[in-house]
Amino acid sequence: MEDDDSSSSSEASLVAQYTVEHFRYGRSISVELNCATTTKGRNLIADNRDSTGLMIWPASHLMCRHLVLSSSLLLHEPSHTKRRPRRILELGCGVGLVGLVATLSEQQYRKQQPQQQQHENDSRFLMVSTDADSHVVNLCAENVDRNHTNVDGRNETVQMWSRRLWWGDSNQLDLIRTEAASNLGELSLSSVEDMDDWTFDQVFAADVVYPSTSGDALTSLFETVDRALYGPTNTPPSDPDETREKKCFLLSFIASRDGYRTPMKLLDAATRANYQIDWVPVSDNDNVTDNHESYECMGAKLLRLTRGDQDAVQHHNASLGTDECLVFPGLKRAVEASLLEDSSDEEWDAPPLSSSEDEEETMD
């Protein structure tokens, strides 16, 4: 099924061709999406509009792979003591691929648990997928419905919504937080003053940081992440283990699109926001989710960003970029070479992970 979309007024110069595509991850997660495959006319990013979410971007596949793998591995553990995140905010959701894979994986996880554990873990799960482009948000809602996931239902234990959200818009975010808390039965409409304590467990974002992402946009991104995870008071939980194990920002990121510039912008913004960057290994060869389709990820990496003490974060992030670093290997050398030799931005290309690096569980 293909369809041309040419809107009027400010969008008149952007024409997108749509088709319904099918994506499969793991043994049983299958997603059907209406998305743009080609566009013509104005750039996807123009006139203070970002319409990149109309299309599927490579780093999204890595995030989906991780979500399906993590859910499957949990089912094979002898003990289900880990608390799964159940309140998730997605930024730059596009047409809904990552949010749908996360939601469908959660549904599958719950169905495959023993009956007793299903009753013990029947708390509601909510994925709120957001984007700044209203047309993209509408496409996401259409795709949620297309995949038989409950849209704005009030009785389902696993739900996915699509909402509009600009990075840095605290009022929009607080409206989403209030709606989510009320829906989950964690806030009565007469207790809005308690909203300072209601936060999301995790924030997801796939392929939202690229060469045209400005420093101001990254600042707004981290402001939104902070408010989503810690609320208006911006106070981390008193238990540091809870902060590290539960509260985090998962970012799927392609580091090599414009040499060292975009990785350096991300590293600088994260450090200023007091977020430590670590690499999350995502295996391509496991015996849990075989039969998965292979999608081009363009060397994307999954990063786990956690808020910490300012000095500790600065020390950790300053150590990134060495040749042995698993996050941005060789980045420091490339920056130094550019300063000394006036080399071009294209000279650094993040090398692919070797098989030995795939086995690493932590990043130095």
* Per-residue confidence band for 10, with pLDDT thresholds at 50, 70 and 90: very low
Those residues whose C-beta lies under 8 Å from the C-beta of residue 5, and which sit 6 or more positions away, are 15, 16, 17, 18, 36
pLDDT tens, 59-95?
999 999 999 988 755 544 444 445 556 899 999 999 9
Q: Mean pLDDT, the chain, as a whole number?
A: 80
Which H helix or E strand runs over 109? Answer: helix 97-112
pLDDT at site 192: 53
Task: Tell me which residue of 297, 216, 298, 303 sits closest to 257, measured CA to CA.
Answer: 298
Token digits of residue 203: 């924030």
pLDDT digits (tens, 9 = 90+) for 248-297: 999 999 998 888 999 999 999 999 999 999 999 987 654 444 455 688 89
Beta carbons within 10 angstroms of residue 120's beta carbon: 11
Q: For residue 13, is pLDDT > 90?
A: no
Strands 125-131 and 158-164 turn out to be parallel
Q: Which of 232, 296, 251, 199 is nearest to 90 (CA)?
A: 251
Q: Which amino acid is present at 10? A: S
What pTM was estimated for this model as a whole? 0.84
Which of the pair, 281 or 27, is modelled with greater confidence? 281
How does pLDDT run across 170-209, given as a tens digit for each residue?
999 999 999 998 888 776 544 555 677 889 999 999 999 9
pLDDT of residue 20: 95
> How confident is residue 214, by pLDDT bands cut at 50, 70 and 90?
confident
